[in-house]
């Protein structure tokens, strides 16, 4: 336990650069790269997550009497609901129809990143009541800002339960993850599938490469500026088409390369000397996290090969436990990525509005659980029940 006696002190910082990286990472741990000081501060330093883009940092720090960081939450004051992947636009519209101002709101999250991970970052040797202190601090920050609501998105299930016990509304969702059952090779994985799905995947992999394409999986020192130049073109082509603008700046990818190259897994498709598509993954302690995909052409089955099958290849080779393929997409199920629950927790200032949301969430949680069961039973490609 830290040496400092006396009560803990809560502090808010508007820039992660104000927090020593080692102190933050001692709370965040090393399992999930998205919670690292290097990743989160790169979002700020690159201009991706700033007040100008509607993500004003309001990071919560809990320190002991000696100023040692015991716990933290990556927190943002937001003027919109973009880049979150847990959709509350309907809540915002209903709140404003009733005469309230939904924005600004507070968001405890990793910006633009629908990846489950800790949100209540606590040093392993912190006092046992530190989580309670952190949750109480979050609520006090929300009250001090007089915001309509505070949202904690993609926390671990244990945190979700702790937040629920503290009065937060509990929401569930789903993503699609591939689990490694000790496969020795991709063919070993295919052997666990039913015959029809096994043949389909083999055909997709073959057809993806009959278009004169070559695929490279790059990490660490193999990454070069030319790869990032190409990938950013793909990223912009995709985001401009879907959302009308990019969340991440070009400078963010430079910082990612400088700070976390060994945790980047960039899968790139090349036609001759010209790169035409790519997928960005980040490597955790036992998980490969799929993040962004983009292309500047129309290549049948290439998305499946670059995003899903090469990720499985990499996970098997490295002995990783799973691949998280990101948000949305029931098409992932037939490729071995099964439905998995995700969580979020919500503090709403207006109690009447909170009761209405709570009634909705009770029904939604039941529907999500039923859908996960139904999709797994009906669409799982595995010969027996899903792993």
pLDDT in tens, 334-353: 999 999 999 999 999 999 99
Residue 244 is predicted with a pLDDT of 57
End-to-end CA distance of the chain: give it in Å, rounded: 40
Examine the domain organization and report whether 186 and 131 are in the same domain. no
- Tell me the pLDDT tens digit for each residue of 211-243: 899 999 999 999 999 999 999 999 999 887 665
Examine the domain organization and report whether 127 and 241 are in the same domain. no
| φ and ψ at residue 272, rounded to 5 degrees | 70, -125
**Low-confidence spans in the chain with pLDDT less than 50:** 1-4, 385-387
Examine the domain organization and report whether 17 and 88 are in the same domain. yes
Distances (CA, A) of 220 to 77, 199, 265, 314, 364: 34, 34, 8, 14, 42
254 belongs to a structural domain: yes
Examine the domain organization and report whether 241 and 371 are in the same domain. no
Q: Could you tell me the sign of the dihedral formed by the alpha carbons of 358, 359, 360, 366, in that order?
A: positive
Examine the domain organization and report whether 372 and 282 are in the same domain. no
User: Look-up: residue for tokens 């789903």?
Assistant: 174
360 belongs to a structural domain: yes
Examine the domain organization and report whether 356 and 244 are in the same domain. no
Distances (CA, A) of 259 to 134, 225, 263: 28, 14, 9
201 belongs to a structural domain: yes
Name the β-bridge partners of 9: 63
Examine the domain organization and report whether 162 and 23 are in the same domain. yes
Examine the domain organization and report whether 316 and 359 are in the same domain. no
47 belongs to a structural domain: yes
> For residue 338, which of 95, 175, 119, 116 has the smallest C-alpha distance?
175
Examine the domain organization and report whether 313 and 357 are in the same domain. no
Residues 385 and 387: their CA atoms lie apart, in Å, by: 7
The set of residues, in sequence order, having a beta carbon less than 8 Å from that of 49 and lying 6+ positions away, is: 40, 43, 55, 57, 76, 111, 112
Examine the domain organization and report whether 149 and 253 are in the same domain. no
Residue 243 is predicted with a pLDDT of 58
- Tell me the pLDDT tens digit for each residue of 292-330: 999 999 999 999 999 999 999 999 999 999 999 877 789
Residues 23 and 10: their CA atoms lie apart, in Å, by: 15
> For residue 287, which of 225, 340, 233 has the smallest C-alpha distance?
340
- Tell me the pLDDT tens digit for each residue of 186-207: 999 999 999 999 999 999 999 9
DSSP class of 126? S
359 belongs to a structural domain: yes
Examine the domain organization and report whether 154 and 189 are in the same domain. no
DSSP letter string, 284-330: -SSEEEEEEEEESS--TTHHIIIIIIHHHHHHHHHT-SEEEEEE--G
325 belongs to a structural domain: no
**Residue-range definition of the domain harbouring residue 116:** 9-176+341-377
Residue 99 is predicted with a pLDDT of 94
335 belongs to a structural domain: no
Name the β-bridge partners of 72: 61, 121
Q: How many domains does the chain have?
A: 2
CATH number for the domain that contains residue 262: 3.40.630.30
Residue 384 is predicted with a pLDDT of 66
Residue 220 is predicted with a pLDDT of 98
Name the β-bridge partners of 333: none
Structure tokens at 112: 């633009």
Helices (H), the chain: 21-28, 37-45, 89-97, 130-145, 157-165, 186-191, 195-208, 225-242, 250-260, 302-303, 310-318, 351-379
86 belongs to a structural domain: yes
> For residue 263, which of 5, 67, 25 has the smallest C-alpha distance?
25
Residues 325 and 308: their CA atoms lie apart, in Å, by: 7
Distances (CA, A) of 333 to 18, 293, 301, 374: 43, 18, 15, 12
Examine the domain organization and report whether 154 and 196 are in the same domain. no
Cβ 238 vs Cβ 277: under 8 Å: no
């Amino acid at each position: 336990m830290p040496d400092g006696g006396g009560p803990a002190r809560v502090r808010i910082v508007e820039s992660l650069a104000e927090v020593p990286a080692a102190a933050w990472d001692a709370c965040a741990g090393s399992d999930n790269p998205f919670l690292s000081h290097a990743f989160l501060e790169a979002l700020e330093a690159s201009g991706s997550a700033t007040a100008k883009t509607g993500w004003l940092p309001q990071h919560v720090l809990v320190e002991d009497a000696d100023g040692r960081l015991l716990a933290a939450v990556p927190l943002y004051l937001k003027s919109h609901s973009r880049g979150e992947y847990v959709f509350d636009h309907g809540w915002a519209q209903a709140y404003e129809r009733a005469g309230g101002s939904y924005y600004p709101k507070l968001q405890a999250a990793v910006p633009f990143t629908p990846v489950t991970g800790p949100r209540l970052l606590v040093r392993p040797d912190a006092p046992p009541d530190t989580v309670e202190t952190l949750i109480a601090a979050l609520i006090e920050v929300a009250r001090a800002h007089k915001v309509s609501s505070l949202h904690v998105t993609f926390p671990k299930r244990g945190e979700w339960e702790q937040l629920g016990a503290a009065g937060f509304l509990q929401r569930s969702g789903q993503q699609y993850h591939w689990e490694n059952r000790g496969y020795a090779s991709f063919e070993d994985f295919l052997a666990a599938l039913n015959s029809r799905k096994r043949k389909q995947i083999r055909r997709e992999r073959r057809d993806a490469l009959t278009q004169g394409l070559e695929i490279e999986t790059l990490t660490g020192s193999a990454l070069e500026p030319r790869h990032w130049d190409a990938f950013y073109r793909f990223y912009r082509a995709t985001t401009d088409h879907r959302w009308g603008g990019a969340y991440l700046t070009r400078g963010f990818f430079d910082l990612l390369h400088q700070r976390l190259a060994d945790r980047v897994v960039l899968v790139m498709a090349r036609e001759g000397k010209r790169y035409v598509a790519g997928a960005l993954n980040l490597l955790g302690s036992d998980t490969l996290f799929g993040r962004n995909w983009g292309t500047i052409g129309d290549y049948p089955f290439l998305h499946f090969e670059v995003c899903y099958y090469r990720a499985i290849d990499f996970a098997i080779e490295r002995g990783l436990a799973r691949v998280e393929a990101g948000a949305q997409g029931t098409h992932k199920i037939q490729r071995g990525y099964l439905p998995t629950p995700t969580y979020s927790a919500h503090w709403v200032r207006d109690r009447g509005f909170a009761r209405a949301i709570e009634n909705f969430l009770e029904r939604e949680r039941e529907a999500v659980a039923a859908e996960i069961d139904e999709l797994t039973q009906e669409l799982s490609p595995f010969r027996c029940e899903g792993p």
